Amino acid sequence: MIITRLTIIGVGLIGGSFALALRKAGVVGHIVGFDTNLDNLRHARDLGIVDEISQDVLSAVSGADVVFLSVPVCAIASVVQTISPALPAGCIVTDGGSVKADVVRTCDALMPRGCRFVGGHPIAGTEHSGAAAAFPGLFAGKRCVLTPGLTADEKSLETVTRLWAAAGADVCRMESGHHDRIFAEISHLPHAIAYTLVRAVGTADVEGENVLSYTAGGFRDFTRIASSDPAMWRDISLMNRDALLASIDGFSASLAELRRRIDSSDRDGLTEFFTTAKKFRDEIV
């Protein structure tokens, strides 16, 4: 057993999967769930994801050793502001949000004396949402990045690290701004491109044909992530605005370069372009 009492705020894909993984590993005594979506919360209880549900967020955090926030990134700070007066002494508050610098800065400032905030981001997910989509193996073999700020100490970091490790994740630590710049490139930009591609092709007019009716494996594989929750990606885009804009600018320059090489029938240039990309791709699979 690592902790006696865990509170999950936002019992959806990430929060629900974290609860299921920890329950399976037998490292948490009792799990309380809170969610503003009451149907989802009841569903989480009926599925056995949490032991108890609460419709009052202040009661939900009462007696918690750890509070895990898995709500939309733009809601994390306001939830912490609400629960802050009710946090028990020594409580660790941590989160699973996809953007970190703003969240860590704001939540650190909201921590009552003796409580610790440990920023976190599991690098795992699916295009589905809600408690019904949760499963215990979601984090197995995946990375989880912890982004400690001012209030995180070694003891709180160690506890959160042990919880994620029990959930099957490979834990590493990173400065929060560095995290946001890396994940703008590797996660937020690919989602932006997938949504843009489907939107562009979906509205393309080729002699009145419905172009999307011709999609096959390649298009579907490439655009799977464009089925993710649009509200989540709106919030991530706004929360990581500067880093994402820089990534989009870099990508636009690359696309413009490809266009230039096609336009000038630059055979060698195109071979070099595609070969370089294939080499990077081959290295990661």
The site for ligand NAP (CB under 6 A) is made up of: 9-10, 12-15, 35-37, 40, 70-73, 75, 79, 96-98, 122, 125, 129-130, 229, 232, 236
* Sequence-distant (≥ 6) Cβ neighbours of residue 261 within 8 angstroms: 269, 270, 273
Q: How far is the CB of 100 from ligand NAP (least distance, A)?
A: 10
Give whichever of 141 and 208 is closer to ligand NAP, judged by the CB atom. Answer: 141
Residue 24: CB minimum distance to ligand NAP, A: 18
Token pair 């029990």 is at which residue?
166
* 52 neighbors 24 (Cβ within 8 angstroms): no
Q: What does the alpha-carbon distance between residue 33 and residue 153 come to, in Å, rounded to a whole number?
A: 26
Decide whether 108 or 235 has the Cβ nearer to ligand NAP.
235
Whichever of 119 and 122 has its CB closer to ligand NAP, that residue is 122
**Nearest distance, CB of residue 228 and ligand NAP, angstroms:** 7
Residue 243: strand, helix, or coil: helix
Convert 98-125 into a string of H (helix), E (strand) and C (coil): CCCHHHHHHHHHHCCCCCEEEEEEECCC
Q: How far is the CB of 203 from ligand NAP (least distance, A)?
A: 26
> Which amino acid, residue 130?
G
| 9 vs 93 by CB, closer to ligand NAP | 9
Whole-angstrom Cα distance, residue 180 to residue 214? 36
